[in-house]
C-alpha cells in the first residue's frame, strides 16, 4: 500500500474555505457585502495579504466579486448572464414579465410555505421591521417598492435553503426595472394600498403561527393581485 504525504493548506485557502462555507450556509445573501479586509484579518488573526488572497480565490470560483473601493460582494449562484438575458428580454417584450410573475407565483407560494416551517426569531424580527416601514408609508399612501422587494427576499431567506435565496434574488434583479415602472405608473387607490399592506400582514402572521398552507394560500392571492396590476400596465402600453 502506497500513501502520499499530506500537503499543508495555505492560510489563504483555509480562509477561503471558511468564507465559502458561510456563504453556502446562507449567512450571506446575494448582494451582501463581506466584512472589510481589515476586519476579516482581525477575525481570522491573519495578515490582510492572506485575506486578499482568499478573496481572490473566491472571486475566481465565482462566489464573490470585488469592486475597487466598494468592497467584496456575494454573487448569486445562478449564472448572472442568464439574469441579464432575462432583463433584456423583458425590456424588449414586456409581456414576458407576466411569464416571470407566473413563475414567481409558483416559487413564492412555496418559499412562504417553507418559511412558515423554518423561520427563526431573527427572520420574524426582520419581517416585522419591514411591516413597520410599510405601515408608515401606508399613512401617507406611499408605495413601498424597496420594502416590498425586501419582504419577499427575507421570506426566501427564512426558508434557510440557499437555492431558494439565490433563485429569488436573480428573479428580483431581472424584474426590478419592470416592477418599478409598474408601480410608478399605477394609480393605486387607498383600498389598493390597504390591500397590499393587509396581504403582507397576513403572510407574516401565517409564517409566525407556522401555518404553512395558510402562508402559501395568502402569498398566491397576493401575487395574483400584483399580476393583475402588471397586466393592466402592459395592456395600457400595448398599441
What pLDDT, on the 0 to 100 scale, is given for residue 81?
Answer: 47
Q: Lowest-confidence range among 107-116, 127-136, 219-228?
A: 219-228
Q: How far apart are the first and last CA of the chain?
A: 77
Domain ranges (residues) in the chain:
11-74, 80-237
Q: What is the mean pLDDT of residues 169-186?
A: 80
Contacts of 131 (CB under 8 A, 6+ apart): 151, 200, 201, 204
Q: What is the mean pLDDT of residues 204-216?
A: 98
Long-range contacts of 188-195 (CB under 8 A, 24+ apart): 188/141, 188/143, 190/141, 193/138, 193/141, 193/143, 194/138, 195/225
Distance CA 156, CA 222 (A): 16
**What is each CA distance from 174 to 15, 82, 101, 236, in whole angstroms?**
32, 9, 11, 22
What pLDDT, on the 0 to 100 scale, is given for residue 231?
Answer: 84
SS3 158: coil
**What is each CA distance from 228 to 182, 231, 232, in whole angstroms?**
11, 5, 6
- Contact present, 167 and 107 (Cβ < 8 Å): yes
What pLDDT, on the 0 to 100 scale, is given for residue 3?
Answer: 61
In this structure, how many other beta carbons lie within 10 angstroms of the beta carbon of residue 75?
A: 20
pLDDT band at 82 (very low <50, low <70, confident <90, very high): very low
The residue that leads in pLDDT, 1 or 19, is: 19
What pLDDT, on the 0 to 100 scale, is given for residue 183?
Answer: 76
Q: What is the mean pLDDT of residues 39-68?
A: 89
What pLDDT, on the 0 to 100 scale, is given for residue 114?
Answer: 98
The residue that leads in pLDDT, 45 or 75, is: 45
Q: Which CATH superfamily groups domain 80-237?
A: GntR ligand-binding domain-like (1.20.120.530)
pLDDT band at 142 (very low <50, low <70, confident <90, very high): confident
What pLDDT, on the 0 to 100 scale, is given for residue 169?
Answer: 85
Report the phi/psi class of residue 121: left, alpha or beta, with left for phi > 0 and alpha for psi in -120 to 50: alpha
DSSP state of 34: P
Contacts of 178 (CB under 8 A, 6+ apart): 90, 91, 94, 97, 230
What fold is seen in the domain 11-74? Arc Repressor Mutant, subunit A (1.10.10)
SS3 67: strand
Contacts of 66 (CB under 8 A, 6+ apart): 55, 56, 59, 72, 73
Q: Give the rounded percent of residues in the chain with a pLDDT score beyond 70.
A: 93
Q: What is the mean pLDDT of residues 86-108?
A: 83
**What is each CA distance from 8 to 3, 5, 12, 13, 36, in whole angstroms?**
15, 10, 12, 10, 27
Kindly report the average pLDDT of the chain as a whole number.
86
pLDDT band at 215 (very low <50, low <70, confident <90, very high): very high
pLDDT band at 123 (very low <50, low <70, confident <90, very high): very high
Distance CA 13, CA 58 (A): 9
pLDDT at 63 over 80: yes
Amino acid at each position: 500500500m502506497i500513501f502520499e504525504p499530506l500537503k499543508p493548506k495555505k492560510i489563504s485557502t483555509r480562509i477561503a474555505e471558511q468564507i465559502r462555507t458561510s456563504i453556502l450556509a446562507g449567512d450571506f445573501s446575494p448582494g451582501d457585502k463581506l466584512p472589510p479586509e481589515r476586519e476579516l484579518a482581525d477575525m481570522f488573526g491573519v495578515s490582510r495579504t492572506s485575506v486578499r488572497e482568499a478573496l481572490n480565490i473566491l472571486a475566481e470560483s465565482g462566489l464573490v466579486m470585488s469592486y475597487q473601493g466598494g468592497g467584496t460582494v456575494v454573487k448569486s449562484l445562478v449564472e448572472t448572464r442568464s439574469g441579464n438575458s432575462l432583463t433584456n428580454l423583458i425590456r424588449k417584450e414586456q409581456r414576458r414579465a407576466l411569464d416571470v410573475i407566473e413563475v414567481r407565483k409558483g416559487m413564492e407560494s412555496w418559499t412562504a410555505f417553507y418559511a412558515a416551517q423554518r423561520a427563526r426569531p431573527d427572520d420574524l424580527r426582520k419581517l416585522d421591521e419591514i411591516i413597520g416601514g410599510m405601515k408608515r408609508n401606508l399613512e401617507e399612501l406611499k408605495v413601498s417598492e424597496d420594502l416590498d422587494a425586501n419582504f419577499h427576499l427575507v421570506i426566501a431567506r427564512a426558508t434557510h435553503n440557499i437555492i431558494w435565496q439565490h433563485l429569488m434574488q436573480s428573479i428580483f434583479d431581472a424584474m426590478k426595472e419592470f416592477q418599478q415602472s409598474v408601480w410608478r405608473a399605477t394609480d393605486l387607490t387607498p383600498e389598493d394600498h390597504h390591500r397590499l399592506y393587509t396581504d403582507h400582514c397576513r403572510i407574516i402572521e401565517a409564517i409566525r403561527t407556522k401555518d404553512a398552507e395558510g402562508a402559501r394560500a395568502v402569498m398566491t392571492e397576493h401575487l395574483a393581485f400584483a399580476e393583475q396590476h402588471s397586466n393592466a400596465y402592459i395592456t395600457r402600453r400595448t398599441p
